[in-house]
Structure 1
Amino acid sequence: MSPASHSRSRTSRYTLGAEGAMAVLLVLLPLSLGSAPTWVHGPLVVLAGLAFVLACVGAWRQHRSLHLPLLALPLGAGALLCLLQLVPLPPGLLAVLSPEAAELRDFVLVPLGLDGSRPLSMDTPATWRELARHLAYLLIFVAAVQVCRSGRSRRRLLTTLAFTGAAVSVLGLLHALLGVDKLLGVISFVHARPPLVTPFGNPNHLAAFLGLSATVSLGLALSSEGRRRAAPYVLATVLGGTGVLLSLSRGGIAFFVFGMLAFALLLLMRRAGTERVLSWRRGGAVLLCLLAVLAVGGQVASERLVAELETADSVAELRHSKLEQWPVLASVARAYPLGLGRGAFESVFPRYQTRPVINTSTHPENAVLQLATEFGVPGLLLLVVGLWGFGRLLRREGLGAAELAVLAGVAALGLHDLFDFSLELPASAVAAWVVLASVARPEDRKRAEASRGHAPLRGLAAGVALTVVALLALVPGRSTLETAEAELGALVAARAPLEEVRARGLALIDRHPADHALQDLVGLAYANAGREGAAEALAFANRALYLNPVDARAHRVAARALLNLGRRTQAFLEYRLAFEAGDRGLLWREALGRARTLAELQALTPDAAREVVQFASELQRAGRHEEALPWLAWACERFDAAPESVQLWEHEARVRLARRELAEAEAASAEVSRRAPDALSSYLLRADVLHALGRKDEALESLEALGPRFPGNVELAFTLARLQVDLGLTRRARESLQQVSPFVSNLSQRAQIFMLEAASYEREGLRTRALESWKSVVRMQPGPGAWFKVARLHESLHQFDAAARAVREGVQLLPEAQRAEGEAWVARLETAERQRVEARRRERGGSGADSILLRAMGADEDLGTVEGEEP
């Protein structure tokens, strides 16, 4: 045999090396937290370049030319578009090509002195990262096409994907069986709570990857010779499909089933003549395997699946789903005909949001809109070319079961990405391009041989160049929105010099000009500087609101700056806007404490009636009764037609009671009863007013009459028990508490039962029993007040050492500035304990030692008479 023929008959070891590099990627990327971290881009580019170089050398050694399928065109053109989006453009040309980008430059960057040329991309580091990824995918795809010319290599790559998916699913099942909610018992997902704990934090991404691997493994099972060889692949299919179901991803489950059905349909369509029977057998095997997966997975996760599917069982749920964003995303695409920059969606999209959102949208969760927004019209053209290339693969003749499974799985993955963004992560993207290469390989009859070193060596040079470009692109691409905001936020939190914060902030804004959070942080630094920095703080807040019209932090910065300038009413309007934009805690944590006048409280008041009720509660809780009364009068008049107005009247009555304005409280209570005559809260308020007026028996009678109407009501029982204790009816109070004890649903209510029991025992003089009840309270709800109550009871029983321990526990729960009085109390108790011990020593030999010891231990405290109890 000649050397040339020998080289063609055996796979080159360099080609095997390329195959190994791609196999490492197929395993490494899913295990690297689903390839979500940005650090995976380095290994991705290195291994992609290595695979391409080795594949070129292998082709050169085997006298083969490199094959470039049509599907390589979208990848190469995508990389070129990324590069063009990074080219700095003069302002005039930028205004012609992208008016939105030019407007952002003029409004956000030019006032900061950043008036240089700008590219089309609104986030250049993100576009640099995307350039590196597109080049890596291109290198992987071309290398995989070359490697997959060998049937054994092709099968090994597909097997690697199939078993990787099965391994990921088994890992999740083990976590579920062991009850471990951390990955490998170590790693916790911060922003996700996946139903199935695997390296994928997002259940949709897990379902997409497992759906592709399970479909491919079933194709391998059907193309295997003999049942023994097919069994591992069938098992991998069942495991992967079970993982899809356990992910509880509705889209993932639906498109996994679609992929399986599409695979069965392709098998039936591609077989004819003498192979008709075999075709029906294989199609039936696919459906049988699908039924097995659904049976196994449904049995394991039936309850959770039903609960998850029920969340989409209403029109309102669908209306507020991902489909609601599509018109907004389409408007973004129209605003950027040449794209806003590949990867820049996360920083740009907040400008077009119309309502406050809790989570940041990193992707449109629609593959078509992703390309339309980031690449513009050229991106849609590339999508058309890609679909055309995929259609050509579907029309190929002679495809086996494994190839048909690949096409069905990739089609399901692509359709799933109409509602997700799995292909935006390297784990699913690399898997899809590698398996597509197994179908896009040149047919045997079309494998044209080239002269030694001709096309492969040129490809080798191009591959090395592209790898170097991709690696260089990762250098400017290492800056992300998260790291930039964290770096600047650390400077602001540390109160770094204002000049340092501004210099660093401008550098980061120059990299991420569309990020509103960077403007917020610099503005916050200026707001913290007092009156001198207030004007600059307002300017940064204004730019942040341009970049995100529903930015709560920008309104907060503006409010603080306006307060520094003395424009208080306008400042409180900004606080209210921050509240309406989603910063719910700011109103109670900061703004309410700074409001002084009625006008300021009115400016701070939300527009929604239910939130006004909470506003009244916070105002009352703060003890600001003097300001609360005129505000409540205004609020009751403004929201008179709202159903929540009755609660505002109730708050006024409570404030009047606290101020001992009993006539006014009775009038407000009458208004509450008129507006809500059958509400329990109206009766409870009336009872409190009667109690304050000294008509305790009448209040008790009215509350006891409510028992049959509101059986098992905990709030009613607590109010009744407090009144009964106050009237000395301690046993009846404990009976009232025992009647509702089965209806108590949380520790807070259980603690209140013990508090009221303790109060009843104290009223009877049973301090030991009261002490035990208070100990139960501190076990359920440890707090300074409860510990100090325990300490007082111990002290009253002359148990000074135990009292000191209780005081120490309570002091530990106090702020540092409030601990002095408690520490003095501890010192006094310790002194009393030492004196008691010394007295016991002196009296030990005397005749009265036993009686003194008994008194010291509190043994005779229950010997007193019980006072105030009814017969």
Structure 2
Amino acid sequence: MSGRSSPRACCLSACWCSSPAKRAGAAARRVAPDLGASERGAQRLAQRHHQRHPGITRNALGWYQYYLVLFLLGWAVGRNRDSAEAGLKALLVVEVGLACYGAFILAAGNTAVAFAERVAYRDSLTATFINKNSYATFVGLGVVTALGMIVSTLRREINREDPLHIQVRTVIQLLITRYFLLVLCFSVLCVALSFTGSRAGVLTTALACGIMIILVLSRRGLRMQSLLGAAALLALGVGGIMSIAGGRMTEGFTSASAFDSIDDRSVIYKSAITAFHHTPLLGNGLGSFEYVFTPYISDELIGLRSVVDAHSSYLENMIELGWPGTLVLLLSLGLLAYACYNGIYRRKRVLPYSLIGLGATVQVGLHSLVDFSLEIPAVTSAYVLLLAFGVAQSTSTRWH
């Protein structure tokens, strides 16, 4: 994977860790006649790529081991509530710092990223990231973190027996006084997210935030009036952010390039599904998608740059791991997310960690349907830590 990976299960069967070139050659031989290529040519294609990248499977396993160690470290640290809170605050500092840096670079012309010449997304805020969708996922995790810290603490400050207008007034007073810094971080990150121009990033983050708010309000059954009041405040906030972003966000949803991107993805998905059907059980090996996919490139994809991702983490996982391996991966992450969900309702107080862990899973899970952001180490590292903190606080027998 050469530095790009997703947090897949680290205890995969040895069949997925075998040389991907062998399975790539087999897949290429099966489809070569349909593509007008010879069997010998398909074999040479797979062997040549394996010679250039002999450690591709080893590198992929190295990243999985790193994410496993990071999760265990985050879980150990997250069992202490003060340490977990410090971790969340540190992540917010990094997120806001990168957002401010990205805004400065964008205002200066956005011609470089991390001292390298920028070749794409010059109209988008991407901070130190190359791809706007990857940064949208990363900054979306910051939005989820800030919102989780705000709503979980506000929930403890509000008396459910008070009239609605008293509750609203209490919320506003707390937001502009005690929690002003958190609100400022949340606002900065929301504006940064909107200026990425990533449609999927904005929509998936908004859905994750909405689910988080509903979970908090539904805990112990708040009245419908409170739910409607919170929804109104959220709508006002989102409307304000969209008005700041203005035409930039609207253009991201309606421009011709947006529809071209959708068309390109649909063509890639069609070819990728064909590739999956040839090796549905064992897959083609870890990190093998880039060259396994080559024999399946259709005429519609010839004009595109080299296809190195399926633009869907789920589909790419199925091609590399087969559907059993993908199922193991999803079940593993699903169980961890379910632990966070239980933590929201099982605890006497709504701590932010369980809420953030679940919200982060919803956000990256939805975005992974149409993109490959979890293959970016910075994005995956942030997600793994948030999930680890959530699981640690949700399953801990006592708070430290």
TM-score tier after normalising by the smaller chain length: 0.7 to 0.9
Q: 1:294 to 1:198 in 2, by over 3 A?
A: farther
Structure 2: distance between partners of 1:241 and 1:373: 35
8 Å contact 1:172–1:198 — kept in the other structure? yes
Q: 1:291 to 1:345 in 2, by over 3 A?
A: farther
Structure 1 unaligned residues grouped into runs of 5+: 1-35, 42-71, 448-871
What amino acid maps onto 1:291 in structure 2? L
Superposition pairs of residues 280-359 of structure 1, within 5 angstroms = 284=229, 288-289=233-234, 291-296=236-241, 298-311=242-255, 317=260, 320-337=263-280, 338-355=282-299, 356-359=302-305
Structure 1: distance between partners of 2:232 and 2:372: 28
> Given the alignment, which residue of 72, 78, 82 partners 1:148?
78
Superposition pairs of residues 8-407 of structure 1, within 5 angstroms = 38=3, 75-77=9-11, 80-81=12-13, 84-87=15-18, 99-100=26-27, 107-108=40-41, 124-183=54-113, 186-224=115-153, 228-272=177-221, 276=222, 284=229, 288-289=233-234, 291-296=236-241, 298-311=242-255, 317=260, 320-337=263-280, 338-355=282-299, 356-389=302-335, 390-396=337-343, 397-398=346-347, 399-407=350-358
8 Å contact 2:285–2:321 — kept in the other structure? yes
Q: Report deviation, 1:141.
A: 0.5
What amino acid maps onto 2:136 in structure 1? A
What amino acid maps onto 2:246 in structure 1? S
Q: Report deviation, 1:108.
A: 4.4
Partner of 1:496: none
Per-residue displacement from partner, 1:255-313 (whole Å, max 9, x unpaired)? Answer: 121111111111122233xxx37x976985576356325413x2333122222222269
What amino acid maps onto 1:333 in structure 2? F
Q: Report deviation, 1:180.
A: 4.8
Q: Percent identity between the aligned chains? A: 23
Q: 1:162 to 1:107 in 2, by over 3 A?
A: same
Q: Report deviation, 1:438.
A: 1.3
Per-residue displacement from partner, 1:323-357 (whole Å, max 9, x unpaired)? Answer: 33322211111112311222221122121011113
Superposition pairs of residues 239-638 of structure 1, within 5 angstroms = 239-272=188-221, 276=222, 284=229, 288-289=233-234, 291-296=236-241, 298-311=242-255, 317=260, 320-337=263-280, 338-355=282-299, 356-389=302-335, 390-396=337-343, 397-398=346-347, 399-441=350-392, 446=397
Structure 2: distance between partners of 1:407 and 1:445: 16
Per-residue displacement from partner, 1:603-660 (whole Å, max 9, x unpaired)? Answer: xxxxxxxxxxxxxxxxxxxxxxxxxxxxxxxxxxxxxxxxxxxxxxxxxxxxxxxxxx
Superposition pairs of residues 706-721 of structure 1, within 5 angstroms = none
Per-residue displacement from partner, 1:728-770 (whole Å, max 9, x unpaired)? Answer: xxxxxxxxxxxxxxxxxxxxxxxxxxxxxxxxxxxxxxxxxxx
Q: Report deviation, 1:37.
A: 8.0
Q: Report deviation, 1:233.
A: 1.4
Structure 2: distance between partners of 1:130 and 1:99: 21
Q: Secondary structure at the match of 2:111?
A: coil
Q: Secondary structure at the match of 1:376?
A: helix
Q: Secondary structure at the match of 2:304?
A: coil
Structure 2: distance between partners of 1:313 and 1:183: 22
Per-residue displacement from partner, 1:350-403 (whole Å, max 9, x unpaired)? Answer: 210111132222111112101101111232222341354023432342243442
Per-residue displacement from partner, 1:39-70 (whole Å, max 9, x unpaired)? Answer: x99xxxxxxxxxxxxxxxxxxxxxxxxxxxxx
Structure 1: distance between partners of 2:225 and 2:57: 48
Task: Tell me the C-alpha RMSD between the 2 structures.
Answer: 3.8
Q: Report deviation, 1:434.
A: 0.7
Q: 1:402 to 1:280 in 2, by over 3 A?
A: farther
Q: Secondary structure at the match of 1:347?
A: helix
8 Å contact 1:222–1:402 — kept in the other structure? no
Q: 1:388 to 1:214 in 2, by over 3 A?
A: closer
Higher mean alpha-carbon deviation, 411-420 vs 218-227, is at 218-227
Structure 1: distance between partners of 2:84 and 2:213: 22
What amino acid maps onto 1:304 in structure 2? R
How many correspondences in the alignment?
362
Per-residue displacement from partner, 1:470-490 (whole Å, max 9, x unpaired)? Answer: xxxxxxxxxxxxxxxxxxxxx
Q: 1:160 to 1:319 in 2, by over 3 A?
A: closer
8 Å contact 2:75–2:392 — kept in the other structure? yes
Structure 2: distance between partners of 1:406 and 1:236: 19
Structure 1: distance between partners of 2:63 and 2:333: 20
Q: Report deviation, 1:411.
A: 0.4
Q: Report deviation, 1:236.
A: 0.9
Q: Report deviation, 1:207.
A: 0.9
Q: Report deviation, 1:177.
A: 3.5
What amino acid maps onto 1:422 in structure 2? S
What amino acid maps onto 1:329 in structure 2? A
Structure with larger RCO (C-alpha < 8 A, sep 6+):
2
Q: Secondary structure at the match of 2:275?
A: helix
Structure 1: distance between partners of 2:113 and 2:228: 38
Q: TM-score, normalised by structure 2?
A: 0.77
Q: Report deviation, 1:110.
A: 7.2
Q: Secondary structure at the match of 1:75?
A: coil
Structure 2: distance between partners of 1:178 and 1:325: 35
Structure 1: distance between partners of 2:252 and 2:121: 16
8 Å contact 1:175–1:197 — kept in the other structure? no
Structure 2: distance between partners of 1:374 and 1:327: 16
8 Å contact 2:113–2:130 — kept in the other structure? no
